[in-house]
Structure 1
Amino acid sequence: MFLYNKIRFVWEVKLLKQYLNLSLENQVPIEIIYLSKCGEFSQRKVLVRRISKEKVVAYCYLRNQIRSFSLDQILSASWSKKIKVS
């Protein structure tokens, strides 16, 4: 059985929520590291659509569809690399 330590520092949660909120407010993609229910790590580029107390609904560029992510399974978030469009 896969065990995952869910203990987080308060500043980690606040920083994660800042990235999620800024993505939502400015419609800017972010990169997240996510731990699936099966215990597999996944890196996703997402555009946040909605944030609730326990879940984030976002457009996932990997799956090309709207996906739901559990907040406690998102391990990190950062700005997505910009793609130059000509």
Structure 2
Amino acid sequence: MTGLLKRAVSNREDLEMIYLDDKGNISQRRIKVLSVYDESFRTYCYVRRQQRTFKICNVLSMGPMRSVRRGA
């Protein structure tokens, strides 16, 4: 997980993440990773339109942002 986060920082890649918060709510986020720490990481969250800090242990799934195809 930390390898993916560090690669996203160095390559300036956006990621999609499914996250479980401390209250038990699950959310899907589109993020740009800004920095990675031992147990957390700092991002710009496109959903909230602000910087957020997430716990690595609460990430359920994470991967590169999928491109959306439209049309035939």
What is the TM-score normalised by the length of structure 1? 0.74
Larger relative contact order (C-alpha < 8 A, sep ≥ 6)? 2
Q: Report sequence identity in percent.
A: 31
| 1:40-79 deviation per Cα after TM superposition (whole angstroms, max 9, x unaligned) | 1111010000100011100000001100001110111111
Q: 2:35 aligns with which of 47, 50, 53?
A: 50
Q: Distance in 2 between matches of 1:48 and 1:36?
A: 18
- Counterparts of 1:1-86 in structure 2, within 5 Å, are 16-82=1-67
Runs of 4+ in 1 over 2 A off after TM superposition: none
More helix by share: 1
Q: Distance in 1 between matches of 2:19 and 2:9?
A: 18
Instruction: Report how far residue 22 of structure 1 moved.
Output: 1.4
Q: Between Structure 1 and Structure 2, whose CA radius of gyration is higher?
A: 1
What is the TM-score normalised by the length of structure 2? 0.87
User: How many corresponding residue pairs?
Assistant: 68
| 1:21-45 deviation per Cα after TM superposition (whole angstroms, max 9, x unaligned) | 1111111100011001110111101
Q: Which residue of 2 aligns with 1:3?
A: none
RMSD: 1.2
